[in-house]
Amino acid sequence: MSKSRLEAFSDGVLAIIITIMVLELGLPAGDKFGDLWALGPTLLGYLLSFFFVAIYWVNHHLIFHDVETVNLKILWCNIIWLFIISLIPFTTAWAGRYPSAWAPVTVYFADMALASVAFHVMYYLIACEHGGKKSFRLDLRSIVSLVVYTLAAGVGAFCPIAAYIVVAAVSLWWIVPKKKIKKALEKPAESVEKIESDKSES
């Protein structure tokens, strides 16, 4: 099927996720700046989660940019990824209320780790579908992200502040998209064009 429906559906879900996160912020308990300061962990969690979702939106667009059709595996992997991402408002609100508690911190970072895994699996399936399986490689940034999110989920509650800082740094690293993100798709596309050209000449 065409990728247009997949992209439209994904954009809508991500927009709703960001909207829900804003609604989860709530108002300060009073009218003093101190009351706003008390929401500090919640606001910081929202900021991190907002950029986390926004960065995925940008990279989601990039990996589908040169894709013309998608198969059933890609569709379901995208839905699974959206399901994991859709939990971000819930995990953000929980971790924002209890920023140093074991369960909220673990669930928050585990959700990020699973989202990263699902996204890279989807990227791999796209490469396979378009003949780029052999050229598909995880770069340093992808490997670091998967390791950091997983470690934050496993041991982040022992030192939550450090975990938040490291995860934020890795997430911000993705603001600048990797230059070769479409490498697995560009070469196959060129070869297809060449084949079509040869057919027309013959």
Helix (H, G, I), strand (E, B) or coil at 69: strand
* Phi, psi values for residue 69, rounded to 5°: -130, 155
- For residue 192, the model assigns a pLDDT of 39
- For residue 30, the model assigns a pLDDT of 77
Mean pLDDT over 152-180 rounds to 85
Mean pLDDT over 108-121 rounds to 95
Check if the beta carbon of residue 63 is closer than 8 Å to that of residue 182: yes
* Band (7; pLDDT cuts 50, 70, 90): very high
7, 118, 134, 110: which is closest to 60 by C-alpha? 7
Kindly list the domain boundaries of the chain, sorted by start residue. Answer: 3-201
Mean pLDDT over 33-56 rounds to 87
Residue 102 has a CB neighbour count (10 Å cut-off) of 12
All residues at 6 or more sequence positions from 44 whose CB lies less than 8 Å from its CB, including other chains: 96, 164
* Band (26; pLDDT cuts 50, 70, 90): confident
Mean pLDDT over 39-65 rounds to 90
Mean pLDDT over 97-105 rounds to 91
- For residue 133, the model assigns a pLDDT of 67
Kindly provide the residue ranges of all beta strands, DSSP E only, lying in the chain, ordered along the sequence.
none
Mean pLDDT over 179-185 rounds to 50
* Band (27; pLDDT cuts 50, 70, 90): confident
Sign of dihedral through CA atoms 108, 110, 115, 116?
positive
Give 142-150's long-range contacts (Cβ < 8 A, gap of 24+). Answer: 144/170, 144/173, 145/116, 145/170, 145/173, 145/174, 146/113, 146/116, 146/117, 146/120, 149/109, 149/112, 149/113, 149/116, 150/113
| The residue count for the chain | 202
Mean pLDDT over 5-22 rounds to 93
| pTM exceeds 0.95, yes or no | no
148, 146, 167, 157: which is closest to 49 by C-alpha? 167
What's the CA gap between 113 and 19, in Å, rounded? 22
Tell me how many degrees the CA angle 107-140-82 measures, rounded to the nearest 5. Answer: 40
- For residue 193, the model assigns a pLDDT of 44
Q: Does 164 or 38 have the greater pLDDT score? A: 164
Mean pLDDT over 29-43 rounds to 80
Q: What is the mean pLDDT of the chain?
A: 83
Paired tokens of 138:
């995880």
Percent residues over pLDDT 90 in the chain: 49
* Band (3; pLDDT cuts 50, 70, 90): confident
Check if the beta carbon of residue 45 is closer than 8 Å to that of residue 92: yes
All residues at 6 or more sequence positions from 115 whose CB lies less than 8 Å from its CB, including other chains: 56, 81, 84, 85, 88
* Band (153; pLDDT cuts 50, 70, 90): very high
Does residue 33 have a pLDDT over 90? no
